[in-house]
Amino acid sequence: MSEKPPTGSGGVGGDGGPFGELPRDGGKQGKDGAALDRYVDGLMEGDERAAFEARLRGDAALRAEVELQRRIDGRLRAMYAPPARIEMAGRGGSGAGSAGRAGGSSGPRLVGATGPSRKRWVPLAVAAMLALVVGGGGGYWWFVVGTPAPFRQPAEIYAAVASRGFEPEWVCTTDEEFVEAVRDRFGRAVLLPVATPGVEVIGWAYGTPVLTNRTATLMTRVDGHEVLVLIDKGESDVNLRRVGEASGGSGSSSGVSSGLHLYKRRLNGLVLYEVSPLDSARVIGSFEAAGR
């Protein structure tokens, strides 16, 4: 396992392991406040961002402040996001997922979002349209058109991790370390074996609140494509989806302009969401329950 970052002993929630902890005072402090704001708002670039992220890896308190600020920002976005009109444009057949992304003609279009806030809110609206596949071989396609995630949207997390080159901030090198990290976080465990055929386990990312501020994000790689798995307690799951339309096993593609798909599995009291550019779930099916 990579060098373990320091963790506190009495923060809110008592988090340890690779995921840090929340600060006791619940907010930004001192001279780090301005830098933290710039980082969370995506205003840091180049060497400044790299230096700040290097600090994050070794400073559990600072990681907790970033996580808390993102949690607050997520709540504000959910409360005050302006409505976006979503126009569905030509869903194609079974190959529309890849062809549509290449041609730029399939999937939903977002219209009516103008002015300076467009860059901030369009990604949120796109994320709200991520397609969710549930069930087995001929299941149903569901569309995320209603309730957003309480904190950050899966597509936001994917974009943020991609912007950092999918560099892990914590790596488990054995199955035992993986189980320990998940159990420390959630009180129960699942395992993606390090030697899973066809899946490269890259490592964990920090500060990725989606369902709660405790959502953990695992980075993997399948057939040269980066795939994220978001993990949280099953009871923390929310209604991210509404029924859009049902199809047979080879129904229309759910690809959207973000090029991402969202797949879901429940296992051992936890909920796992796979965020992937691939047109089928390739990672969450390999997870195993690991005791209680």
pLDDT band at 258 (very low <50, low <70, confident <90, very high): low
Q: With 70 as the cut, is the pLDDT of residue 5 above it?
A: no
Residue 187: the pLDDT is 94
13 and 130 in a single domain? The answer is no
Q: With 50 as the cut, is the pLDDT of residue 192 above it?
A: yes
On whether residue 1 sits in a domain, the answer given is no
Average pLDDT of span 228-245: 72
DSSP string, 245-274: ----TT------TT--EEEEEEETTEEEEE
170 and 235 in a single domain? The answer is yes
On whether residue 66 sits in a domain, the answer given is yes
30 and 169 in a single domain? The answer is no
User: CA 201, CA 221: separation in Å to the nearest integer?
Assistant: 7
64 and 96 in a single domain? The answer is no
Average pLDDT of span 78-101: 41
76 and 54 in a single domain? The answer is yes
Could you say which DSSP state residue 279 is in?
S
143 bridge partner residues:
131, 242
Tokens 């890896």 sit at which residue? 57
On whether residue 241 sits in a domain, the answer given is yes
Q: With 60 as the cut, is the pLDDT of residue 275 above it?
A: yes
Residue 39: the pLDDT is 83
129 and 52 in a single domain? The answer is no
On whether residue 166 sits in a domain, the answer given is yes
On whether residue 31 sits in a domain, the answer given is yes
pTM of this prediction?
Answer: 0.52
205 and 121 in a single domain? The answer is yes
41 and 172 in a single domain? The answer is no
Residue 57: the pLDDT is 87
Q: With 50 as the cut, is the pLDDT of residue 288 above it?
A: yes
52 and 174 in a single domain? The answer is no
- Please give the structure tokens belonging to residue 195: 């030697």
> What is the total count of domains within the chain?
2
257 and 223 in a single domain? The answer is yes
Range(s) of the domain holding residue 33: 8-80
Residue 6: the pLDDT is 36
Contact 108, 87 (CB under 8 A): yes
On whether residue 107 sits in a domain, the answer given is yes
